[in-house]
Chains A and B, each alone.
Chain A
Amino acid sequence: KAGVTQTPRYLIKTRGQQVTLSCSPISGHRSVSWYQQTPGQGLQFLFEYFSETQRNKGNFPGRFSGRQFSNSRSEMNVSTLELGDSALYLCASSPQGEPQYFGPGTRLLVL
């Protein structure tokens, strides 16, 4: 069974640009969560989707948004990038609830 896949793996952007990251969950999993990992703040919850509905959102500004498609694939978007958005963005999937299986992450560098 294929694991969680994330694309792209690495990304370099400049301040003010926007970025879209993609996550494909394990087949059959309907819950997708996103986390941001930075050296200073650690692992922080961004949002969780189940069957195309956002069930929970973390304490991030409105520049961070996401969506889930009918095939459970998910995207997250960050608009008006700031230097502090440089991080490893991790996607996780599970059949229904608490995330269990994480992808390799997308490393975003904002210059």
Chain B
Amino acid sequence: AQSVTQLGSHVSVSEGALVLLRCNYSSSVPPYLFWYVQYPNQGLQLLLKYTSAATLVKGINGFEAEFKKSETSFHLTKPSAHMSDAAEYFCAVSVPFNDYKLSFGAGTTVTVRA
């Protein structure tokens, strides 16, 4: 079974600083990987996804993530944090064309300090 672990339930960054959210996955087959953002009282918005093409994936709102098979990681980064980035972020994994479900990490809440 596939799973993800998000390191750090809370991350606090200064406005303009680098945002780094860590995600490690476990999967017996090459996975698809996703990052979602959730703002208060809203659903999940897809930031980016890895589907076995380029290992460096660029997403919306200036976010990107790099798939590293050797480290089983899919960390999310943004060079310069903005106040609007304050939200909860979820990493998720799926087995392509198999069980059609996402397994989510526990989430990381990002706080941005002015």
Binding site for B on A (CB under 8 A): 4, 6, 31, 33, 35, 42-43, 45, 48, 50, 55-56, 58, 90, 92, 97-105, 107
Contacts and interface: CB of A to CB of B under 8 A. Distances in A.
B46 A101 contact: yes
A54 to B, nearest CB: 10
B107 A90 contact: no
Contact of B100 (A35, A56, A90, A102): A56
Interface residues of B, number: 24
B11 interface: no
B102 A98 contact: yes
B101 A56 contact: yes
A99 B32 CA distance: 11
Contact of A45 (B34, B42, B103, B107): B103
Given A42-B107, A43-B90, A99 B102 contact: yes
Tell me what chain A mostly uses at the interface: helix, strand, loop, or mixed.
Answer: strand
A56 B94 CA distance: 13
Interface of B: 32, 34, 36, 41-46, 49, 90, 92, 94, 96-97, 99-107
B104 A102 contact: no
A102 B45 contact: yes
A42 B5 CA distance: 13
Among B32, B99, B103, residue most surrounded by chain A Cβ atoms (within 10 Å): B99
